[in-house]
Every structure is written in C-alpha cells, then in structure tokens.
C-alpha cells in the first residue's frame, strides 16, 4: 500500500501544480458565479436555473480535468522517461496505474469540493437555497468522473494522447447518451439492432446513471438506495477498466 | 546465493517500427555473464544496443527471445528489482519535488520505512555532494546536479547490483571524478556495477572488464589489458639538438615538432626506437623523452567499430 500511496501522493502534487488545472478551476468558478446573471436573462424559475447551471459547471469542468489530465497522466511518464526509474523499482505495474489513478481522483475530489463550496455560497448568497438532492448529485458527479478518469487511464496506457482524447471523449459522450441507445434499440423492429444496442449498453458505461441534476434542480427526493447502487456501479466499472489497463500496461515496452 | 550478478543467454530484442511494423534487431542473442563484485563497462557507438540491453535487464522492455537473470532471479521480477539500483540515461524526474522529497519517494517505492529512508538520505546526499541542495526543488537543479541526485536514488535501497546508463553524462570533470570514486567505493563494498559510457577513459579506469557492443552484437569482452594487449605497443621518442639535415638522415621521420623545437617520433616497437636513438646520439642529438605507449581502449574500440562497419558494408548491411 505504501507504494500506491507514494505514487498517488506524487500524482496529486504534480496535478495541483499544473497551470491548466487552475485555469479550468477559474473558469468553473466564473461560470458558477455568472449563473446569477445568466438566470436573470432566461425566463423561468430563477433558483432552478442557477442550481442547474452550477451543477452543469461542476460536471463539465470536472470532466475536462478528468479527460485532459487523465490522458496525459501515463503518456507523460513514458515520454519524459520518469517511468524508467519507477518501473525499475520493485513496483508492479498495476500498482503504478492504480497509484496514478487515485492521485488524479484525489485532485478531482479537491476540485469538486472547491466548486461545490463556491456553488453553495452562490446559492445561499442570492437566496436561491439548496435542495436535499444536491449532495447526492455532486457525489454522483464525482463517481462519473471516477469512471471517466479510468477510461482516460485505460486509453492512456497504450495509445497517444490524441487518440486517447478521441476515444475517451467519444466513450464519455456515448456513455452520457446510453439511455437513448436503449430506446433506439427498443424502437427498432430488427432483432439484430435490438441485440446490438442492448450489448453496447451493457458493455459501455452508462453515465446517465450518475446524472441527478434534474432532481437537484427541482428539489425532488433521491433514494439513498439509488445513490448506493450508482456508486457501486461506478466503482465496479472503474475497477474493471483499471484491471484491463493493468493487463495491457504489464506487457508494454518503454521505448 | 548466486555467484553471478547478471547472466544472459541468447538475449534478443526485435523492435517493430512504422506503419508496416518493420523489424529492427536492437540486440542479437547476447550471451554475457558478470560475476558478483565486478565492475563491468559496456561500450559501443550510438544505436549499438547498450541501452536496449539495460532496459531488458531492468524489465522496462521484454526480450523477444532468450533469458536473463539478475542475482539469480528472472529479470523483471520484484525480488530482483528490490536488490538493484538503476540510473537511466539523461534521467528526468519530478521537478517540483525537493531533493529530500525525491529520495523519500524512491525509498517508498522500495517499501523502506521512514527511519531507514531518513538514514539513507543523510548518507547519500553528502556522498553525491548535494547536502546543501536538500530542500531545493529539482526544477532549479543543473543537469549535473540532477545526475547526482539520480545516482543517489539508484543507491537508496543499498543495492547489490547498480546499473548506470551514461552516468558521466552532463557532468563536469569534478562530477566525473565523483562518479569514478562512487563506482570504486561500490566495488570495495562488493557491489556489482554495470555501466554504459561514452567516456572511454572512465571505463578504462574503473572497469574490471569491458564489453564492446556494436550493431547489437557483443564483439569483444575482457579486461582492458586483454582487449588492448592484443595489439603491439608503440614508443614515442623525443629528441633534441638535431638540425633538419641530420633528422633527414635518421631511420624514422618525426611525427611532429614541438613548440620548443623537439622532434617527436613514433616508433613501432622498442627495437625500432632503440635504433632511432642510437642514430640520433651518433649525430650529436640528445634523448629528451622515451615513452612506451599502449593502445588505448578508445583506439581499440574505434578499430573494432570501423572493422564491423566495413564488414557490414561488404555484406550489404547498412
């Protein structure tokens, strides 16, 4: 555990010193802050719009960090040859990957926490108020980031950053539309299409399970069983991706 | 306990490059045995397969075929890596860490408890003359300073085998001297050292044995004496007090004339040198210097490299 912890802490330190991260955080906070102005311009329920924009900002900027820091996480180690001194130590390669993963996850947790605090401050500042579903919504946004980070690590373990970014963004977008895939399959008269859509849905991550924005914005109740189920699903999916990444990474040559 | 630090049998690496996955042989069936406690220098031109060899031994690349063992354990195994220290060529490290944090990190990767890490750091930073920079971030380090802390990280686990890829790279003469001293100290402790270097004089000075790797093949292995002793020595004779006319009468012509007017000759052997000196003294000249020269490792290496290049050209191989 000491080795995974050392790599995770090192990754966290590296990430928090990355200027891109601060730029993204700055824009996220700006967006949360400006949601007040945006809400003024849109006809509708003032508080609901602000709650929705704030949660969207946390999700979008979290995803940007997960994808763009995540894809470079392994590649940079290989490109800068820092991996040489780590892989030549008694550290199994899976421990290296898991350490890198938890390091970035720690960074994301910090980022999400900062954005969440800013979000709640804005809501309370303008008297829009918080809802009971907000905490589960933010938590599941973090779980979504945990899955996307694992996707980025998987592709980053064997492809270039450009391909990694394409695959990760692609898979994330499909994952967000997975409910539509099921609907598409159900509406089709072809058995093959139904089977294909059903298989795609089962294999690819269903990121829509982590989306509680509507419930949080409208102040609807969320069952804790659902949150626990979605958390379990995210953790299991991320773990499966990391196992796959570890198998691929184990046989990789470092040129 | 195995008496052999490194043993390779038919170790071969084929790289696949480009879209068509063309094969490039980085290492042709390397057979090598390095006993414990030996300092072994691996030399060769760029692209000869030195770094490939080290990467295979360090488990960074997998061999295409062949086997290798480190300290009696298969390469890449955790048990082997726990007893090895490695400094890669032109190392890059996490530059936001201080020297102390950096060494703690590598100590943690070895699973060392904190007290032992602190003890090792207190010993290693003075050893590489970096105790003053212990709380400085690595991004503020010069290339030579990075190389020094790189060596310190390779020694954190008090390894039985130290593998150094171009350890003198980027170092000034003082730094190079420091590396030679560290290698000698390691040898005194009984640590095996395998290192690659382009600085052949360093290799010649500290290595028990040297391997010459050219075009992925081990061309020659032996002690420096064995390698260069295969060639005849030359003798440099310096004569004084001879006019150009008298010099023209000598059995050999000078190699060059020094700024002080001394004529410097290079005789093929001692008998030729003696005949030259006798002829010069007969003509009123004085013997100013007589130095028997042994072929340097560098000359031997250059001859080997040229020979392999010629053979490859004749065989139609690039």
DSSP letter (8 states) at residue B263:
E
| Residue B310 belongs to a domain | no
Q: Give me the pLDDT at residue A43, please.
A: 64
Q: Given B197, B228, B259, which residue is the final one in a domain?
A: B228
Please name the member of B62, B86, B150 whose beta carbon is closest to the beta carbon of A88.
B86
Q: Which of A85, A94, A252, A255 to substitute to test the interface with B, most B CBs within 10 Å?
A: A85
What tokens appear for B226 in the block?
């064995």
The Cα–Cα gap between B26 and B14 comes to 6
Q: Give me the pLDDT at residue B229, please.
A: 67
Contact (CB<8Å) A10/B110: no
Whether residue B222 is found in the same domain as residue B252? no
Domain that holds residue B275: 234-293
Contact (CB<8Å) B81/A88: yes
Contact (CB<8Å) B82/A86: no
| Residue B312 belongs to a domain | no
Q: Give me the pLDDT at residue B23, please.
A: 83
Contact (CB<8Å) A253/B60: yes
Q: Which residue is closest to B52 within chain A, CA to CA?
A: A255
Measured from the Cβ of residue A173, the count of other Cβ atoms closer than 10 Å reads 10
Contact (CB<8Å) B108/A3: yes
Whether residue B217 is found in the same domain as residue B241? no
Whether residue B186 is found in the same domain as residue B284? no
CB contact A81 to B (< 8 Å): yes
Burial of B275 (0-12, 13-18, 19+ CB in 10 A): middle
DSSP letter (8 states) at residue A100:
H
Q: How many H-runs (helices) and E-runs (strands) does chain A carry?
A: 11, 0
Whether residue B117 is found in the same domain as residue B134? yes
Q: Give me the pLDDT at residue B174, please.
A: 85
b/e per residue B141-166 (b: at least 16 CB within 10 A): beebbbbbbbbbbbbbbebbbbbbbb
Contact (CB<8Å) B109/A89: yes
Q: Given B171, B194, B228, which residue is the final one in a domain?
A: B228
Please name the member of B61, B86, B97 whose beta carbon is closest to the beta carbon of A85.
B86
- In chain A, % helix, strand, coil (3-state, to 5) comes to 80, 0, 20
DSSP SS3 for A2: helix
| Residue B273 belongs to a domain | yes
Whether residue B262 contacts residue B241, with contact meaning beta carbons closer than 8 Å, is answered with no
Whether residue B111 is found in the same domain as residue B37? yes
- Chain B residues in contact with A2 (beta carbon < 8 A): 108, 111
B62: distance to nearest CA of chain A, Å? 7
CB contact A78 to B (< 8 Å): no
Whether residue B241 is found in the same domain as residue B208? no
Contact (CB<8Å) A6/B60: no
C-alpha atoms less than 13 angstroms from C-alpha of A219 in its C-beta half-sphere: 9
A150-180 per-position pLDDT tens digit:
999 999 888 888 898 899 999 998 888 887 8
| Residue B301 belongs to a domain | no
Sign of CA dihedral A124, A130, A135, A138: negative
Does pLDDT of A14 surpass 90? no
| Residue B304 belongs to a domain | no
Whether residue B247 is found in the same domain as residue B272? yes
Whether residue B196 is found in the same domain as residue B279? no
Q: Give me the pLDDT at residue B56, please.
A: 94
Does pLDDT of A239 surpass 80? yes
Sign of CA dihedral B110, A89, B5, B159: negative
Whether residue B243 is found in the same domain as residue B218? no
The Cα–Cα gap between A31 and A54 comes to 7
Whether residue B212 is found in the same domain as residue B245? no
Residues of chain B with pLDDT under 70: 1-2, 229-233, 294-296, 316-318
DSSP SS3 for B69: strand
Overall number of domains in chain B? 2
C-alpha atoms less than 13 angstroms from C-alpha of B143 in its C-beta half-sphere: 10
The Cα–Cα gap between B264 and B266 comes to 7
- Chain A residues in contact with B55 (beta carbon < 8 A): 254
Whether residue A48 contacts residue A128, with contact meaning beta carbons closer than 8 Å, is answered with no
CB contact A85 to B (< 8 Å): yes
Whether residue B98 is found in the same domain as residue B47? yes
| Residue B128 belongs to a domain | yes
Whether residue B208 is found in the same domain as residue B241? no
CB contact A19 to B (< 8 Å): no
Looking at chain A, how many residues does it have?
255
Contact (CB<8Å) A88/B92: no
Measured from the Cβ of residue B18, the count of other Cβ atoms closer than 10 Å reads 7
In terms of phi and psi (left: phi > 0; alpha: psi -120 to 50; beta: otherwise), the region of B261 is left
What value does the mean pLDDT take over residues A77-104? 92
Comparing C-alpha atoms, which of A24, A208, A3, A176 is closest to residue A102?
A3
Whether residue B181 contacts residue B150, with contact meaning beta carbons closer than 8 Å, is answered with no
Strands B192-196 and B161-165: parallel
Residue B213, domain CATH:
3.40.50.300
| Residue B302 belongs to a domain | no
Please name the member of A5, A17, A90 whose beta carbon is closest to the beta carbon of B81.
A90
Contact (CB<8Å) B88/A2: no
Contact (CB<8Å) B108/A2: yes
| Residue B306 belongs to a domain | no
- Chain B residues in contact with A96 (beta carbon < 8 A): none
Whether residue A115 contacts residue A109, with contact meaning beta carbons closer than 8 Å, is answered with no
The Cα–Cα gap between A133 and A115 comes to 17
Q: Give me the pLDDT at residue B318, please.
A: 45
Contact (CB<8Å) B15/A255: yes
């Amino acid at each position: 555990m000491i080795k995974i912890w050392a790599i995770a802490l090192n990754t966290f330190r590296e990430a928090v010193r990355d200027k891109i991260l601060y730029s993204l955080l700055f824009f996220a906070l700006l967006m949360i802050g400006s949601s007040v102005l945006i809400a003024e311009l849109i006809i509708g329920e003032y508080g609901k719009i602000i709650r929705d924009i704030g949660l969207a900002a946390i999700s979008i900027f979290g995803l940007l960090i997960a994808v763009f820091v995540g894809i470079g996480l392994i590649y940079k180690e290989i490109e800068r040859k820092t991996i040489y001194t780590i892989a030549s130590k008694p550290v199994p390669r899976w421990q290296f990957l898991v350490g890198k993963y938890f390091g970035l996850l720690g960074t994301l947790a910090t980022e999400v926490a900062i954005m969440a605090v800013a979000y709640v401050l804005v809501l309370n500042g303008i008297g829009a108020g918080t809802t009971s579903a907000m905490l589960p919504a933010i938590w599941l946004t973090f779980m979504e980031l945990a899955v996307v980070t694992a996707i980025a690590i998987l592709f980053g373990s064997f492809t270039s950053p450009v391909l990694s970014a394409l695959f990760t963004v692609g898979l994330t977008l499909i994952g967000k539309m997975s409910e539509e895939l099921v609907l598409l399959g159900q509406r089709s008269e072809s058995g093959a299409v139904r089977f294909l859509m059903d298989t795609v849905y089962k294999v690819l991550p269903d990121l829509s399970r982590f989306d509680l924005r509507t419930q949080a914005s409208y102040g609807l109740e969320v069952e804790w069983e659902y949150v626990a189920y979605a958390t379990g699903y995210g953790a299991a999916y991320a773990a499966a991706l990391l196992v796959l990444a570890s198998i691929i990474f184990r046989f990789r040559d470092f040129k | 306990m195995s008496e052999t630090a490194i043993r390779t049998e038919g170790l071969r690496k084929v790289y696949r490059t480009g879209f068509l996955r063309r094969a490039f042989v980085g290492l042709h069936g390397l057979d090598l045995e390095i006993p414990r406690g030996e300092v072994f220098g691996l030399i060769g031109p760029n692209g000869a397969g030195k770094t490939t060899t080290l990467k295979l031994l360090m488990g960074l690349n997998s061999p295409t075929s062949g086997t290798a063992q480190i300290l009696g354990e298969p390469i890449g195994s955790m048990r082997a890596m726990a007893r090895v220290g490695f400094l890669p060529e032109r190392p890059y490290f996490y530059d936001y860490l201080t020297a102390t944090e950096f060494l703690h990190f590598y100590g943690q990767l070895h699973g060392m408890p904190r007290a032992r890490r602190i003890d090792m750091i207190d010993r290693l930073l003075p050893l590489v003359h970096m105790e003053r920079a212990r709380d400085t971030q690595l991004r503020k380090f010069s290339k030579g300073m990075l190389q020094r802390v790189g060596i310190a990280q390779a020694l954190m686990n008090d390894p039985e085998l130290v593998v150094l890829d171009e350890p003198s790279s980027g170092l000034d003469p003082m730094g190079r001297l420091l590396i030679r001293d560290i290698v000698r100290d390691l040898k005194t402790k009984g640590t095996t050292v395998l290192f690659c270097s382009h600085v052949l004089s360093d290799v010649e000075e500290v290595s028990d044995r040297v391997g010459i790797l050219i075009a992925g093949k081990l061309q020659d292995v032996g002690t420096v004496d064995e390698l260069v002793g295969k060639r005849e020595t030359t003798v440099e004779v310096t004569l004084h007090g001879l006019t150009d006319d008298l010099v023209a009468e000598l059995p050999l012509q000078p190699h060059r004339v020094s700024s002080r007017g001394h004529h410097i000759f290079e005789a093929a052997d001692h008998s030729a040198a003696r005949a030259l000196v006798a002829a010069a003294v007969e003509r009123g000249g004085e013997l100013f210097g007589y130095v028997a020269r042994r072929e340097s490792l560098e000359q031997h290496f250059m001859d080997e490299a040229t020979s392999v290049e010629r053979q490859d050209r004749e065989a139609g191989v690039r």
